[in-house]
Structure 1
Amino acid sequence: MKKYFQSTVYILFVLVTFFALAKSFMVYKNPLNFYENPLVWLALIGFVLVVVAKEMVNVLATTKAKELQNEKDGVVPEPPKDWIKLLLKSWTDSKDIENEQEIILDHNYDGIKELDNSLPPWWKYMFYASIVFAIVYLIRFEVLDGDSQIVEYDKAVAEAKAALNTYKATATDLITADNIILLTDATDLNRGRAVFNLNCASCHLSDGGGSIGPNLTDEYWILGGGIKNVFNTLLNGGRDGKGMISWKNTLKPADMAKVASYVISLQGTTPAVGKDPQGEKWETTAVETTETKEVIE
């Protein structure tokens, strides 16, 4: 009775799990995506484990029953063959200990004798492979004058730079010091002011008058004025050792563009306490004036 009960439970489990998996494969868009449907994987693994375990139990039970029957009948089974030893012997072509007299070499060193066993096949085949590799390498790089590793590296770098330039030329949302333009929209400037007050006011004061950092309201700039230079300073930082840090790992390019535009908008304003000018006077170029007019229009 117990045997029939176990078989019935096993059959029901297999049928229910099978139909549940079949239903999930028909309903879910990506049923094998573990992050979206972990229960599908748990059911599948459980199904396989139960089937494998059941078959292993059957094999063990059959084997045990056969052993008991042989013992009852007085049949002595042949000892199982050691397949690992047979496999290793076929690979190495070595002699057994009782047959080693056949491969003992003639020379003798103070009673020490040497066997003439064959080399392991894995060693021989690796040696043959190294010879083939050496021939191919010689022909490839010496006879046919193939590219060296340095040349291949230079070509890969050149291809990567070309791909990067193509991406920069075609990307619509990529902001760099080369393509940045002055933003004059009130929404952009308000965002720039907010980011400035959060990150820059501690050194430049909220009105741009300057404290630790220089005055941003006058015409004098340490690293150059204009939208491109201001953006580049935000991107790469100021002077080594004593200038502003780089903000490229903190601010997004879009926010840096808005901060730079807000800083340019501070030109000509009157701070409460303005710091003395630093750097050189910046003259706005005709190109910058044209770009600003185009943005405003």
Structure 2
Amino acid sequence: MKKLIPAYVRVPVLFALVVMALEYFIDSGDKPAFIKYPMVSVFLFVFLFLQIAIEIVISAIDRVTYAMLTDEQKERLAAAETSFSIKNSKLYKMLTRSKSIEREGEIMMDHDYDGIKELDNVLPPWWVGLFYATIIFGLIYLVRFHIIGDYDQKQEFEMEMAEAKKAVDAYKSTAKDLIDAESVTLLTEGADLAQGKTIFENTCAACHRADGGGSIGPNLTDKYWILGGGIKNVFHTISEGGRDGKGMVAWKATLRPNEIQRVASYVLSLQGTNPADAKEPEGEIWVDENAEATDADAGETTDAVEESEQTEETSDVAEGTPEVAAN
């Protein structure tokens, strides 16, 4: 029995939909799910096998059922299948405006080429409508970009690049594994420092001691730094390593950026703890220039406020002196 959608279309389409659904719902990273997870391949093989088996069984049932029909029933079935065909549907006729075979004489052209005649079919309405739509689009484009003078391709490119840069910056601000020495910030939450402590004890304590007092490596609890203090410098030192030939190794291949951020924040939390038998200071005292500038600005503001208050008090005293003299 004739089906609206043949088996050679149903089977591949349904199988492709199942494959796409598995790829969408299974997180397999940069590899397809059926390659990364062998059980997915087994499932797809079984599913395809069942599809083909079901189609074979349905086809066999249809053939047996058709063989059991009488001649009259077969004729009625053929007529029903013909009446329900796509070419006889109203939608198909509306989209194509084609004439049936019985009415081809109405559009037959007069000329004859060795018995070959030509039909004067009209263009499909959907094609004509699409053609007019392209003309309207072209006119709008002409007026907008060549007469009014809207943005050109260079400006469009620059706008899209600016939007893309904003999207990338927004993503980097929330993606912990894209932190670098320029964007890193100091963590102060207890949970972050606890994780940093665990990393420090597993990777750094062998050279700096568990309390940060220093052994092979320098003391991390005083104000002296060999390669600079502050979260940015400490992050860079841990990530890229210390001095060539005599500094610590680079940990960027072992630790993720967010882990380096936590351990760097924990190292800075050890400042001023003064552990027993700490190693002698190495390097120079590091002072945050940005903090100094902020403090200096705050000091200047405070001095200006105090000076203003003193000026007002002096002015009040000066205004009150004649009254005292008059009294």
Q: TM-score, normalised by structure 2?
A: 0.41
Instruction: Identify the structure with the greater helix proportion.
Output: 2
Q: Which has the higher contact order (CA 8 A, sep 6+)?
A: 1
